[in-house]
């Protein structure tokens, strides 16, 4: 037992000196060697070791439990990727400094101390790394420059390999550098790095969309953009086997799609969609030349250079020609997720809706959680909460208000007037779907009711709807009839959005609603495709199965998408017109009409891209182009400043540009996930 490991670290929120984080996947023997080299250097430090196992099947978990019981083990059921595993380890850690070590690396004596001391005496440095050595003690080239289209051209044209020591041709790999001196660099290979927690709190965690490759590149770039330095410390040394984990998966071939997916994402992120075209051109011509060279080798020397080289080149050509199949799909974990600086064990408990900690909380005493999403409507929110306060006198339900960074004093009103309400004031407007997910994570009940702040509901209405869903265990979500202040019915259910259904809703249903002739909500309870998220009662089990709202939908279509995924998971969605709830529709969004129109179309395009075939999406794209052309034509005929459509011209042109994006996945927002202005802990986020 190592007495330097912090006693009671598993439950104590106290900040300590150092946390060591190791992510493992099927490298039991290498992990054992890595842990021995790390723990031997922790004497004298108040430290902890966190091992995140990505669903290994080689008994790595058992080895850690038996031989290194002093380490904290996070055993995942499946391989969640290196980036997400590292993020889990960071969120579970408590150290002021964090040492990230690959399981196929081992520290040479004094390495940890030299990195720690360097970081302590360099307050402007975010990340330091040692000199990495191969098993034969030769130097690994672990320093790289920022990847650009130029460096990509030099790489795929083989010029960097022909002139590796040239400062121009070998600029990316930086082999011309002197590896026997300390120096500031643009990026370091993250096989062994020590990071300052303060820097992570500022720039966020690893981007989960860079699952295996280039996550260290992106991290270093973000740190440098924030004004931090990245430093190479040559006196600290570590041995890095290289590919210890990925070689198991036949590194060059099985992980080729992942590598290109991460590469495409990185270039889109920093250089835009247009860079992907040139990148694919370089990949195509680069590997076409390689294949010609391999054929010549075969003809001249009866040597094709190894079957893997041929297969690698062939698959790379396919990637260049059909890149759409390798476009990344975003994780529900947000890019650049911010880190709560204290009490990280509690923060980890709300890591995601599908976390195991949530599943262990299913034995709950609170029957229902009412989650109100608010943005800049203090008076409306006051009416909503007053009605809910009366309802909660009958039953011990909990009320959670997620405020999307209101500037009208709504959070202060909630604090001073409704002391029994849990308040989550967000650091910025993260959108309706993301706010709902945060509310789910903070809740403590089997059933959850989502309400807009412009809803007025009493105890009887909520009780009836709750009884209905409890009596029908196959129902995942249910909604009531929504009425306005004049008791006129509003469309609050329907069929899945497609071109035909949206045409019906816009040109047939909407005029009926405006004239007061809408009667489709009358009748008996029925199974439907979707119900409105303005007042949506759901059960936690259904949310766990669907992983909550898709956070790429900032506003609109998030309820359609959630209900569709619930039905795909085997749950039913019902509409109960016998229960009527007052909805002051659009009280928040009326204030920002142009922004709302933009978000509606953005979400609509995203929904069609996600759930419909190419023909429907193409038609929608051309429809938006037509709207832009119509606004432009009005401007030409009437004069832009006199045109009736002038106020919408800019918006329609932006929508047309959005519609023509080649890859609609890239419309997803990269919002930070700072939960509160004072994110000291989850208890600091949820003010009771």
Asked whether residue 152 is domain-assigned, the answer is no
The answer to whether residues 230 and 87 belong to one domain is: yes
Predicted pLDDT at 332 = 42
Predicted pLDDT at 99 = 96
Mean pLDDT of the 438-454 span: 91
Q: Which residue has the higher pLDDT, 327 or 63?
A: 63
Going by their DSSP bridges, the two strands 535-539 and 445-452 should be labelled as antiparallel
- Pick from 62-71, 179-188, 663-672: least confident: 663-672
Q: Which residue has the higher pLDDT, 590 or 105?
A: 105
Mean pLDDT of the 62-80 span: 92
Give the separation between CA 609 and CA 664, rounded to whole angstroms: 7
**pLDDT of 54 over the 50 cut:** yes
Asked whether residue 642 is domain-assigned, the answer is yes
Predicted pLDDT at 242 = 72
- Pick from 94-98, 107-111, 229-233, 323-327: least confident: 323-327
Tell me: the pLDDT tens digits for 86-144? 999 999 999 999 999 999 999 999 999 999 999 999 999 999 999 999 999 899 999 99
Q: In the chain, helix, strand, coil percent, each to 5?
A: 45, 20, 35
Mean pLDDT of the chain: 79
Mean pLDDT of the 286-303 span: 72
The answer to whether residues 545 and 598 belong to one domain is: no
The tally of CA atoms less than 13 A away on the side-chain side of residue 193 is: 22
The answer to whether residues 566 and 622 belong to one domain is: no
- When pLDDT is cut at 50, 70 and 90, the band that residue 688 belongs to is very low
The answer to whether residues 237 and 368 belong to one domain is: no
Tokens standing for residue 244: 């210890």
Q: Which of 573, 590, 607 is the last residue of a domain?
A: 590
Q: Which residue has the higher pLDDT, 207 or 591?
A: 207
CA angle 8–9–11, rounded 5-degree value: 80
- When pLDDT is cut at 50, 70 and 90, the band that residue 602 belongs to is confident
Give the separation between CA 256 and CA 241, rounded to whole angstroms: 20
The answer to whether residues 494 and 629 belong to one domain is: no
Predicted pLDDT at 125 = 94
> Residue 235 maps to which CATH number?
3.90.550.10
The answer to whether residues 584 and 620 belong to one domain is: no
Tell me: the pLDDT tens digits for 472-503? 999 999 999 998 888 888 888 888 988 888 77
Predicted pLDDT at 575 = 94
Is this model's pTM higher than 0.75 or not? no
Tell me: the pLDDT tens digits for 189-218? 999 999 999 999 989 999 888 888 899 999
Q: Rounded to whole angstroms, what are the CA distances from 270 to 42, 69, 336, 460?
A: 38, 43, 14, 53
- When pLDDT is cut at 50, 70 and 90, the band that residue 342 belongs to is very low
What residues are paired with 479 via a beta bridge?
Answer: 575
Predicted pLDDT at 241 = 87
**pLDDT of 450 over the 80 cut:** yes
Asked whether residue 269 is domain-assigned, the answer is no
Domain that holds residue 659: 592-667
**pLDDT of 570 over the 70 cut:** yes
Asked whether residue 21 is domain-assigned, the answer is yes
Asked whether residue 93 is domain-assigned, the answer is yes
Asked whether residue 408 is domain-assigned, the answer is yes
Give the DSSP letter string of 119-187: HHT-TTEEEEEEEEE-TTSPBP--EE----HHHHHHHHTTHHHHSTT-TTTTTTTTTTS-TTS-EEESE
């Amino acid at each position: 037992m190592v007495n330097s490991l912090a006693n009671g670290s598993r439950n104590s929120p106290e900040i300590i000196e150092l946390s060591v984080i190791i992510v493992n996947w099927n490298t039991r023997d290498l992990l054992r060697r890595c842990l021995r080299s790390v723990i031997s250097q922790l004497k004298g430090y108040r430290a902890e070791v966190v091992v995140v196992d990505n669903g290994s099947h080689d008994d790595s978990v058992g080895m850690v439990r038996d031989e290194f019981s002093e380490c904290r083990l996070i055993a995942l059921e499946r391989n969640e990727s290196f980036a997400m595993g590292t993020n889990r380890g960071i969120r579970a850690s408590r150290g002021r400094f964090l040492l990230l070590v690959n399981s196929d690396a081992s520290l040479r004596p004094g390495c940890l101390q030299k990195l720690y001391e360097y970081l302590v005496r360099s307050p402007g440095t975010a990340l330091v790394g040692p000199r990495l050595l191969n098993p034969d003690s030769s130097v690994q080239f672990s320093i790289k420059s920022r990847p650009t289209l130029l460096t990509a051209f030099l790489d795929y044209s083989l010029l960097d390999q022909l002139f590796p020591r040239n400062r121009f041709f070998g600029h990316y790999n930086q082999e011309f550098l002197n590896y026997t001196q300390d120096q500031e660099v643009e990026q370091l290979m993250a096989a062994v790095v020590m990071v300052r927690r303060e820097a992570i709190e500022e720039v966020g965690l690893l981007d989960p969309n860079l699952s295996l490759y280039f996550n260290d590149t992106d991290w270093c770039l973000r740190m440098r953009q924030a004004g931090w330095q990245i430093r190479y410390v040559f006196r600290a040394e570590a041995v890095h086997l290289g590919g210890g984990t990925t070689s198991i998966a036949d590194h060059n071939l099985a992980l080729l799609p992942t590598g290109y997916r991460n590469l495409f994402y990185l270039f889109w992120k920093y250089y835009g969609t247009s860079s992907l075209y040139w990148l694919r051109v370089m990949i195509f011509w680069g590997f076409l030349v390689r294949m010609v060279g391999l054929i010549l080798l075969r003809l001249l020397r009866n040597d094709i250079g190894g079957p893997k080289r041929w297969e690698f080149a062939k698959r790379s050509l396919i990637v260049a020609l059909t890149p759409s199949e390798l476009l990344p799909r975003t994780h529900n974990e947000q890019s650049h997720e911010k880190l709560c600086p204290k009490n990280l064990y509690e923060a980890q408990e709300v890591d995601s809706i599908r976390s195991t900690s949530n599943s262990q909380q299913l034995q709950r005493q609170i029957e229902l959680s009412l989650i109100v999403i608010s943005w800049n409507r203090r008076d409306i929110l006051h009416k909503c909460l007053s009605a809910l306060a009366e309802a909660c006198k009958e039953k011990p339900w909990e009320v959670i208000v997620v405020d999307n960074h209101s500037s009208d004093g709504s959070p202060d009103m909630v604090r001073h007037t409704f002391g029994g309400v849990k308040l989550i004031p967000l650091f910025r407007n993260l959108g309706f779907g993301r706010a709902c997910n945060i509310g789910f994570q903070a809740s403590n009940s089997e059933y959850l009711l989502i309400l807009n702040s412009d809803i007025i509901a009493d105890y009887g209405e909520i009780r009836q709807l709750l009884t209905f869903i409890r009596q029908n265990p196959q129902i995942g979500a249910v909604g009531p009839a929504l009425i306005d202040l004049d008791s006129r019915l509003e469309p609050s259910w329907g069929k899945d959005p497609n071109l035909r259904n949206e045409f019906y809703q816009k040109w047939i249903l909407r005029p009926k609603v405006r004239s007061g002739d809408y009667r489709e909500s009358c009748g008996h309870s029925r199974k439907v495709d979707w119900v409105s998220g303005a007042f949506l009662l759901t059960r936690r089990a259904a949310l766990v199965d669907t992983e909550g709202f898709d956070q790429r939908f900032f506003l609109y279509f998030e309820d359609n998408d959630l209900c569709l995924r619930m039905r795909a998971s085997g749950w039913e969605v019902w509409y109960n017109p016998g229960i009527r709830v007052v909805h002051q529709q659009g009280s928040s969004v009326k204030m920002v009409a142009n922004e709302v129109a933009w978000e509606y179309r953005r979400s609509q395009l995203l929904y069609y891209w996600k759930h419909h075939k190419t023909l429907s999406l193409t038609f929608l794209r051309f429809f938006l182009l037509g709207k832009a052309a119509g606004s432009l034509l009005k401007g030409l005929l009437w004069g832009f400043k006199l045109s009736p459509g002038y106020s919408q011209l800019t918006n329609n042109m932006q929508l047309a540009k959005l519609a023509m994006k080649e890859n609609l996945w890239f419309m997803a927002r990269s919002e930070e996930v700072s939960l509160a202005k004072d994110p000291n802990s989850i208890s600091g986020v949820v003010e009771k």
